[in-house]
Chains A and B, each alone.
Chain A
Amino acid sequence: MNKKKNRLLRAVLVLTAVIILVPALVIVLWSFTGKWPWPHIFPATWSLRTYEELIFGTSPLPGLLGSSILLASIVALLSTVIATMTARATEIYRVPGRQLIRYAEFLPMVVPGTVFAMGFQVTLIRAGLNDTMTGVVLVHLVCGLPYAYAIMTDMTAAVGDALEEQAQVLGASGTKAFLDVTLPQLVPGLLSSFSMSFIISYSQYFTTLLAGGGQVKTIALVLVPYIQSGDRALSSVYSVVFVGSALIVFAVFEKAVKRANRGMQQ
């Protein structure tokens, strides 16, 4: 009975993997497709048209990738720093009203991104930040922060401040004790908070459209019109680049987290 059930659960996993991976493979095929008429299972003719458009077209890839990655990195860096500071205030300094702060941290999750972006536009215009990179960073930051808070709050509470206090007793200044003792222990949390915020910023469409007014170009902003125009080959090639670059960034970070964890054990 037990074995039979495990076989069933294993089948669930295999099916899950197939459902997750097949669409990605189909999209890779589509990106090289010239013609793919019904009812062929594989494309009838192959073409590199989409890759030519990608590299030499209206929004050349290097600039587009560069600006998307730069934007997401700035958001991720700020979000990780802010989350670390906030977690330190609530978990180590135990400021009064910290329960209220913890609720407020999740406020952006309760306000849908579309509502926030439309409501915030007036404020951005008043501040002269509409259609600017700064405005987009600010709006993306709001979307990514709850996840960064959750990661850094757990991490900070787990690390605690016992070792840091000991360093201070032994004569280290507060700053030095934090930088030399606590910060290295927080590295795994910092990295996962960074990669989570990166992915959230990288994936944004509506908030970028509203705060950036088309002036701030990201891969998502270029991709959506291609999907709307029904050009499957072109929307596939941008999807491949979009997911591919996200996977590479994520893999790099995963590796860094592993190295950091190993470093801590030594």
Chain B
Amino acid sequence: MKNRRVIPFLLLIPFMLVTAAVIAAVINVIVQGLGYIKAFGLTTFTLDYYKEVLKRPDLVQSLLVSLKIAVFSAVFASVLGTLVCAALIRCRRASGGMLTIVQMPILVPHAVVAVFTVALLTQNGIIPRILYAAGLLHNYSNFPDFLYGTSYTGAILAYIWKEAPFVAYFTLALMKSVGETLGEAAENLGASPLRSFFDITLPMSMPAISQAFLIIFIFAFGGYEVPLLLGATLPKAFPVATYIEFQAPDLRDRPYAMAMNGITLILSALMALAYALLMHRMMKKRGVRA
């Protein structure tokens, strides 16, 4: 029985090693972002690097672009994903072929999603060609410049293509169980399917949907290859700009890149905190009601 006390801690050793790696990375970002890199002769802590990053107009533009990509991607992917999830359940397609198709984008790497987007949406992509053949477009230059432009529409569409199915898949189990129990009970008591969905099934599925929202937001905010491959030369997405600073030939410039990583980290953490508070309040509200 002595084993029973030692075993669980032995089981946790690899978990702790991996967690230590994440914490080491975070500490590096924070310490170096504050200007302390002993090996390069930088030994004073300062907020100057953060201030200078936030004073540079191009970097502020980058930050705003990345926030925009994250917000639009997460909002549209969550709404559309929830719709697809509800449709899968209502039409009794929550297993089998249709579900397999919905799962497919989860298997497709982001770099390949970028290839898809280019093939479809550049001005000589398949969609403008089809529109041209249908007589809806007179010249390819009339097709909106979704890609490589400052609007980052192409990058946002790429994220929605990949992440909306993720939301549907992530929410499916919870929404199905809620719909089959409480949702049907409401309908038996006379609620219309629409009302039972919006009043019962949707609110009860929110924990899964909002967690998926958070995951997508942080992913799109910190994502590299999608905005690199589909975005404009200026402004660059924040992580793309960060990596350029990271590669600066003078190693004593490293704190700039780390301050930028620090900003990404702070905003991601704030988002996670907001999510945690929201969940906490939601649980409490439900606990009181029940």
A residues apposed to B, CB below 8 Å: 2, 5-6, 9-10, 12-13, 16-17, 19-24, 26-27, 30, 38-41, 81-82, 85-86, 88-89, 93, 95, 101, 104-105, 107-120, 122-123, 138, 141-142, 145, 174, 199, 202-203, 205-206, 220, 223-224, 227-228, 232, 235-236, 239, 242-243, 246-247, 250
- What is the CA–CA distance of A24 and B225 in the complex, to the nearest angstrom? 19
A85 touches B12 (CB 8 A): yes
- What is the CA–CA distance of A13 and B98 in the complex, to the nearest angstrom? 8
| Cβ-defined partner of A5 (8 Å) among B104, B114, B161, B193 | B193
A113 touches B222 (CB 8 A): yes
Residues from chain B with Cβ under 8 Å of A220 in the complex = 109, 111
Of the candidate stretches B43-51, B127-135, B175-183, the one touching chain A is B127-135
Cβ-based interface call for B277 (8 A): no
Q: 21 A-B pairs, CB-CB below 8 angstroms?
A: A9-B87, A17-B101, A23-B120, A26-B126, A27-B115, A30-B119, A41-B133, A110-B269, A111-B22, A111-B26, A112-B221, A114-B223, A114-B242, A115-B222, A115-B265, A118-B246, A118-B261, A205-B224, A206-B225, A239-B115, A242-B112
A13 touches B88 (CB 8 A): yes
Of the candidate stretches B2-10, B57-65, B71-79, B279-287, the one touching chain A is B2-10
A116 touches B22 (CB 8 A): yes
- What is the CA–CA distance of A13 and B13 in the complex, to the nearest angstrom? 45
Decide: A27 near B116, CB < 8 A? Known: A116-B25, A228-B229, A250-B107: yes
- What is the CA–CA distance of A105 and B19 in the complex, to the nearest angstrom? 8
A38 touches B129 (CB 8 A): yes
- What is the CA–CA distance of A110 and B21 in the complex, to the nearest angstrom? 14
A112 touches B110 (CB 8 A): no
Cβ-based interface call for B232 (8 A): no
A58 CB to nearest B CB, Å = 18
B115 touches A235 (CB 8 A): yes
- What is the CA–CA distance of A220 and B257 in the complex, to the nearest angstrom? 24
Residues from chain B with Cβ under 8 Å of A235 in the complex = 115, 118
Residues from chain B with Cβ under 8 Å of A224 in the complex = 111, 225, 229
Decide: A13 near B84, CB < 8 A? Known: A2-B193, A118-B246: yes
Could you list 16 further interchain pairs (A-B, Cβ under 8 angstroms) beyond the known A17-B101, A85-B12, A86-B11?
A: A20-B165, A22-B126, A23-B119, A26-B120, A41-B133, A109-B218, A112-B239, A114-B223, A115-B29, A118-B242, A119-B27, A120-B28, A174-B7, A206-B243, A224-B225, A227-B114
B25 touches A112 (CB 8 A): no
Cβ-based interface call for B136 (8 A): no
Decide: A20 near B101, CB < 8 A? Known: A41-B133, A112-B219, A118-B29: yes
Residues from chain B with Cβ under 8 Å of A145 in the complex = 18
- What is the CA–CA distance of A142 and B20 in the complex, to the nearest angstrom? 10
B residues apposed to A, CB below 8 Å: 3-4, 7-9, 11-12, 14-15, 18-19, 21-29, 32, 83-84, 86-88, 90-91, 93, 98, 101-102, 104-112, 114-120, 124, 126, 129-130, 132-133, 140, 161, 165, 193-194, 215, 218-219, 221-225, 229, 239, 242-243, 246, 257-258, 261, 264-265, 268-269, 272
- What is the CA–CA distance of A224 and B161 in the complex, to the nearest angstrom? 19
| Cβ-defined partner of B19 (8 Å) among A20, A107, A120, A250 | A107
A44 CB to nearest B CB, Å = 12
A162 CB to nearest B CB, Å = 16
- What is the CA–CA distance of A228 and B173 in the complex, to the nearest angstrom? 39
Residues from chain B with Cβ under 8 Å of A88 in the complex = 8, 11
B258 touches A86 (CB 8 A): no
Return the chain A residue nearest B220 by Cβ. Answer: A112
A180 CB to nearest B CB, Å = 17
Residues from chain B with Cβ under 8 Å of A202 in the complex = 109
B223 CB to nearest A CB, Å = 7
A182 CB to nearest B CB, Å = 13
| Cβ-defined partner of A104 (8 Å) among B19, B106, B268 | B19
B119 touches A86 (CB 8 A): no
A129 CB to nearest B CB, Å = 11
B230 CB to nearest A CB, Å = 9
Residues from chain B with Cβ under 8 Å of A228 in the complex = 229
Query: Which of B22, B109, B264 has the most C-beta atoms of chain A within 10 angstroms of its own C-beta?
Result: B109
B211 CB to nearest A CB, Å = 9
| Cβ-defined partner of B194 (8 Å) among A5, A85, A122, A250 | A5
A20 touches B15 (CB 8 A): no
Residues from chain A with Cβ under 8 Å of B88 in the complex = 13
| Cβ-defined partner of A17 (8 Å) among B98, B114, B126 | B98
